[in-house]
């Protein structure tokens, strides 16, 4: 993925000089910036359409909820712009501290987290409620990038490179999987790809994948709810009939399929969704189904296209042309985290994946997910500022 150039530097991030920390006089990648704005606009329209029924049942108005969503988007946007001005090497220096803090918060949420939708994922600190798994995911991606960067001279060593990196990955994913298995599975996949790009040997990577499969199977079998999701998914794709509809098994997925089918090519129109009254969490987990219903195949394909542009731009341009291994791996991890969440959310709505509960970045209603998505995009935009490839267009934000 990355190519070592005469200007590339491999070593500890604490050896970086002050001159190397200065941000070049290049703007951030404008394709990425415009893509995020487009997702935010899609999100505002989709949330406005999907949250009306929720507002009625909770004695509030859709206007208030949408206003809150816009405010959260604004905060995420400001975070993105602010982080894009901070050199990614500076952020990387705090990765270990961030990991330790996230571990403490993950343990705290297991015992003291708010119980919602069958799991404890949020931790309430007074008037603030957030999901520690989002912080843990970002800090793990940064820390894995730091470790891979620092250990390039002996990257094939099992004891000096693979074991220390695997320790952080396994512990973090295990703590997240206790209450949020789907997020842990996606995070594990992202870190494995980062290790592959970071030149960890293939046998060692296969060993980590095996550990992930064994651990994932153990987590699935230990929970009746997780087993039910898998069973419903298998039934959904092998035995679709009226009795399956009437029994309530796979209800969420079936209602999402109805919404997508009603959308056809151009959709039923903005704000005219009917399935929002039947879909659980249509403003979050199944928001892509509402987009498909109201905007049809054309609108839903446009959303997927925007995420695809972010993935291509983030990997083929920003990560590939980053000035060092650290920038390459951080850009790769940030890009995959944003885009894979979007693709998985769409795959769940269309029935390609079992129900996971992952939000669609910048589109789904929520606070924590948008805030940390803005942080990830800020990192990606900052790394793009170091890109000296003349074929890349920038904005001077």
Whole-model pTM: value is 0.85
Helix (H) or strand (E) holding 123: strand 119-125
User: Residue 1 domain-assigned?
Assistant: no
The tens-digit pLDDT sequence of the chain (397 residues) is: 444 433 445 555 555 544 444 555 567 788 999 999 999 998 888 888 887 766 666 667 777 788 888 898 999 999 999 999 999 999 999 999 999 999 999 998 888 877 665 566 777 776 677 788 889 999 999 999 999 999 999 889 988 999 999 999 999 999 998 878 888 999 999 999 999 999 999 998 998 888 888 887 877 777 666 666 676 666 665 555 555 544 454 677 777 878 888 888 888 888 787 877 777 777 788 889 889 999 999 999 999 999 999 999 999 999 998 989 999 999 999 999 999 999 999 988 887 887 777 889 999 887 778 889 999 999 999 999 887 554 444 444 4
Q: Is residue 4 domain-resident?
A: no
What single-letter DSSP state applies at residue 276?
G
Domain count, the chain: 1
| One-character DSSP codes across 348-379 | HHHTSS-------TTTSS-SHHHHHHHHHHHH
- Can you give the pLDDT at residue 350? 85
Which segments of 198-241 does DSSP mark as H helices, in order? 202-221, 224-238
The 10 Å Cβ neighbour count of residue 36 is 23
pLDDT at 241: 53
Query: In whole angstroms, what is the distance from residue 292 CA to residue 257 CA?
Result: 10
Check residue 313 and give its pLDDT.
94
Query: What distances in angstroms separate CA 71 from CA 65, 78, 362, one per listed residue?
Result: 10, 11, 12
Residue 17, in any domain of the structure: no
Per-residue DSSP letter, 59: T
Q: Is residue 219 part of a domain?
A: yes
Q: Is residue 173 part of a domain?
A: yes
Does 10 reside within a domain?
Answer: no
The Cβ of residue 392 has, within 10 Å, a number of other Cβ atoms equal to 17
CA atoms 311, 312, 316, 317: torsion sign: negative
- Written in H, E and C, the secondary structure of 158-203 is HHHHHHHHHHHHHHHHHHHHCCCHHHHHHHHHHHHHHHHHCCCCHH
Whether residue 134 contacts residue 175, with contact meaning beta carbons closer than 8 Å, is answered with no
Q: Which residues contact 261 (CB under 8 A, 6 or more apart)?
A: none
Q: Which residue is it, tokens 């500022």?
A: 385
Q: How far is CA 170 from CA 162, 208, 347, 376, in A?
A: 12, 9, 26, 22
Residue 18 lies in a domain: no
In angstroms, the CA 200 to CA 96 distance is 20
- Has residue 397 been placed in a domain? no
Q: Which domain holds residue 298?
A: 25-389
């Amino acid at each position: 993925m990355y190519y070592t150039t005469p200007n590339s530097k491999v070593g500890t991030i604490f050896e970086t000089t002050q001159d190397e920390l200065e941000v070049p006089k290049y703007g951030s990648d404008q394709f990425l910036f415009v893509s995020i704005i487009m997702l935010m606009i899609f999100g505002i329209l989709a949330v406005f359409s999907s949250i009306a029924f929720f507002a009625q049942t909770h004695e509030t108005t859709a206007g208030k909820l949408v206003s809150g969503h816009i405010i959260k988007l604004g905060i995420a946007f400001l975070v993105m712009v602010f982080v894009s001005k901070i050199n990614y090497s500076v952020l990387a220096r705090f990765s270990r501290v961030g990991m330790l803090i996230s571990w403490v918060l993950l343990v705290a949420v297991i015992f003291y987290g708010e119980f919602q939708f069958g799991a404890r994922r949020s931790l309430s600190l007074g008037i603030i409620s957030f999901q520690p798994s989002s912080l843990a995911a970002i800090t793990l991606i940064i820390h894995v990038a730091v470790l891979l960067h620092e250990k390039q001279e002996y990257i094939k060593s099992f004891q000096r490179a693979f074991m220390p990196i695997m320790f952080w990955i396994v512990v973090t994913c295990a703590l997240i999987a206790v209450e949020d298995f789907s997020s842990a599975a996606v995070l594990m996949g992202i870190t494995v790809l980062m290790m592959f790009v970071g030149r960890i040997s293939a046998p060692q990577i296969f060993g980590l994948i095996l550990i992930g499969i064994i651990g994932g199977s153990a987590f699935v079998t230990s929970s009746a709810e997780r087993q039910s999701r898998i069973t419903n998914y298998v039934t959904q794709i092998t035995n679709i009939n009226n009795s399956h509809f009437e029994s309530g098994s796979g209800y969420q997925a079936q209602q999402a399929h109805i919404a997508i089918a009603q959308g056809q090519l151009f959709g039923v129109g903005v704000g005219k969704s009917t399935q929002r009254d039947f879909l659980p969490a249509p403003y979050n987990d199944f928001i892509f189904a509402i987009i498909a219903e109201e905007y049809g195949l054309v609108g839903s394909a446009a959303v997927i296209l925007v995420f695809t542009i972010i993935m291509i731009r983030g990997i083929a341009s920003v990560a590939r042309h980053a000035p060092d291994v650290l920038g390459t791996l951080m850009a790769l991890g940030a890009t995959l985290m944003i885009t894979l969440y979007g693709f998985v959310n769409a795959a769940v709505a269309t029935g390609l994946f079992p129900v996971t509960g992952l939000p669609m970045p910048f589109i789904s209603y929520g606070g924590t997910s948008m805030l940390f998505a803005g942080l990830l995009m800020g990192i990606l935009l900052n790394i793009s500022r170091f890109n000296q490839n003349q074929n890349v267009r920038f904005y001077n934000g």
